[in-house]
Amino acid sequence: MEDNSTTTNRENLGERNPLLTLAEHIRGKGAARVIDYHVHERHSRDAAMAKISEYIAAAEGRGITEIAFTTHLITIGPDVDLSIREEEIPEYIREIRMAQDGTRIKLLAGLEVDYFPGEERHLEAILRGNDFDFILGSTHYINGVDIGSQSQAEGYFANRSITEAADEYYKVWKRAIESGLFDVMAHPDYWRKYLRFYGRSASWGDYGSVLFDALDAMADNGVGLEVNTAGKRAGTGNYYPIQEFLVAAHEAGVKVVTVGSDSHTAGTLGYHLEDAIRQLREASFTHMSTFKDRKNTRISIGDMLERTRTRAKLGV
């Protein structure tokens, strides 16, 4: 369902590297703020080998100061086996809280929840009943079709224009936004993941009109938008969403934005996130959001990029 790229070389800054001490000093003062708000660990069955400890080690090596773990919650449909089981949720959160005791990396307990119309009350009970920091909403399934499946996605687009397919997607996406269940909506144009495999492509002009209603709903409800860098790893040539989408979101008044690598392995933690933040700035966003206890705090994109650049200059 998700992009599941193999591990790249993990940076390994040994203790004898004198810059590490400096980097830690900077992080200790809260100077560097590279954050990854979409990360799957082993409770997502499509990330079964991914350990929290490995993500912490990768974050320490890459100057990433925050990780929001967002394991899959899929309550119905054919992919429930990829989901954390409801009875595992307390243990999942406990593991994250225990790991927090041993690191200065800020760790958040979250979910990536699949939205299905009709499941709202069930999802609300799960979200209320647990101590989450951050909840991503996702639409991987539209009217029963898994558009994150290469074989099913082709059928989704068959015999109709891309705009008609996109409109159908954003109708469901808008309902997810209006459900009030989610802090931020993940990978906003995920539907185009497999288009290129069957000779189709989508440009901004194909995105249809329902999307604009959904962006208005997003602004009205204070729901956020994610820039998800897995689109690049999946070979779409862009992040999710494309740049024009970000510009439209800003113009619609969307204020809450996060970035995430959608990692299913520690090798991709932080993947292209600085560039994603730059794209937000190019779309005129001045702030992005961090979360704790499902409350968001806005932080300056300018400050974040400046601190990132300073750290890059230092070679750490």
Report the interface residues with Zn ion, using CB under 5 A.
2, 112, 138, 262
Tell me how far apart the alpha carbons of residues 54 and 57 are, in angstroms, rounded to a whole number.
5
Residue 213 CB burial class (10 angstroms; 0-12, 13-18, ≥19): middle
Reported in sequence order, the residue ranges of 27-105 that DSSP labels E, i.e. its strands, are 34-39, 64-73
Summary count for the chain: helices (H), strands (E): 11, 11
Residue closer to Zn ion, measured from CB, 82 or 246:
82
Nearest distance from residue 48's CB to Zn ion, in Å?
Answer: 14
Residue closer to Zn ion, measured from CB, 193 or 311:
193
Q: β-strands 64-73, 106-114: how paired?
A: parallel
Tell me how far apart the alpha carbons of residues 97 and 43 are, in angstroms, rounded to a whole number.
15
Nearest distance from residue 173's CB to Zn ion, in Å?
Answer: 13
137-152 as b/e, with b when 16 or more CB fall inside 10 Å?
A: bbbbbbeebbbbbeeb
Residue closer to Zn ion, measured from CB, 65 or 70:
70
Nearest distance from residue 189's CB to Zn ion, in Å?
Answer: 12
Residue closer to Zn ion, measured from CB, 138 or 290:
138
Amino acid at 128: R
Per DSSP, 182 falls in state -
Amino acid at 170: Y
Nearest distance from residue 238's CB to Zn ion, in Å?
Answer: 16
- Look up residue 193 and give its two tokens: 């993941």
Nearest distance from residue 54's CB to Zn ion, in Å?
Answer: 17
Residue closer to Zn ion, measured from CB, 189 or 307:
189
Nearest distance from residue 180's CB to Zn ion, in Å?
Answer: 20
Residue closer to Zn ion, measured from CB, 189 or 262:
262
Residue pair 14/162 in contact (Cβ under 8 Å)? The answer is no
